[in-house]
Amino acid sequence: MSTDIHLEHLAVGYRPPATLRAIDVRLATGSLVAILGPNGSGKSTLVKTLLGLLPPLSGRIHGLATRGIRAAYLAQQSDIDRSFPITVLETVVMGLWPRLGHVGRVTTEHLRQAREALGRVGMAHTEQRTIAELSAGQFQRILFARTMLQDAALIIMDEPFNAVDESTVQDLMTYIHQWHQEGRTVLVVLHDLGLALEAFPLTLLAGGGRVRYGATAEVLCRRNMVDAGYWGSSSHALERLFNEPDTARAV
Partner 1 sequence: MLYEWFIQPVLEFSFLRRAVAGTFVLSLGAAPVGVFLILRRLALAGEAMSHAAVPGIAIAYLLAGLSVLSLTIGGLITGLAVALLSGLIARSTVQYEDASLAAIYLIALASGIFILSLYGSHIDLSGFLFGSVLGLDDDTLILIGISTSTTLVALAFILRGLVMECVDPQFFRSVGGSGARVHFVFTVLVVLNLVAGFKALGTLMSVGLIILPAASARYWGRTITGTLVWATAIAVVSSYAGLLISLHASTPSGPSIILFAGAVFIFSLLFGRFGVVTRHLARAEPAFAPRAASRGALMAPKAEP
Pick one of 9, 24, 67, 133: the residue that binds partner 1 (CB under 8 A): 133
Pick one of 2, 39, 135, 233: the residue that binds partner 1 (CB under 8 A): 135
CB of 163 or CB of 226, closer to partner 1: 163
x/- letters, 159..198, toward partner 1 (CB under 8 A): ---xxxx---------------------------------
CB of 185 vs partner 1, minimal distance in Å: 15
Enumerate residues 89-118 that contact partner 1 by CB under 8 A: 90-91, 94, 97-98, 100, 102-103
Distance, first Cα to last Cα, the chain: 46
Q: What gap in Å lies between CA 202 and CA 66, rounded to an integer?
A: 25
For residue 71, give Cα distances in angstroms to 16, 58, 192, 229.
26, 21, 23, 29
Residue 148 is given by DSSP the state H
Pick one of 1, 15, 55, 85: the residue that binds partner 1 (CB under 8 A): 85
Q: Which part of the chain contacts partner 1 (CB under 8 A), choosing from 124-132, 182-190, 215-223, 231-239?
A: 124-132
CB of 98 vs partner 1, minimal distance in Å: 6
CB of 95 vs partner 1, minimal distance in Å: 8
CB of 158 vs partner 1, minimal distance in Å: 8
Please, are residues 101 and 84 in contact by the beta-carbon 8 Å criterion?
no
x/- letters, 39..78, toward partner 1 (CB under 8 A): ------------xxx----------------xxxxxx-xx
Size of the residue set binding partner 1 (CB under 8 A): 43
Q: Is 81 in the site for partner 1 (CB under 8 A)?
A: yes
H or E stretch covering 8: strand 5-12
3-state secondary structure 179-239: HHHCCCEEEEECCCHHHHHHHCCEEEEEECCEEEEEEHHHHCCHHHHHHCCCCCCCHHHHH
Q: What gap in Å lies between CA 221 and CA 134, rounded to an integer?
A: 39
| Cis before 17? omega within 30 | yes
CB of 110 or CB of 240, closer to partner 1: 110
Q: What gap in Å lies between CA 6 and CA 101, rounded to an integer?
A: 29
CB of 91 or CB of 216, closer to partner 1: 91
Closest CA to 188 of 39, 63, 49, 75: 75
Chain contacts with partner 1 (rule: CB under 8 A): 51-53, 70-75, 77-87, 90-91, 94, 97-98, 100, 102-103, 130-139, 150, 162-165
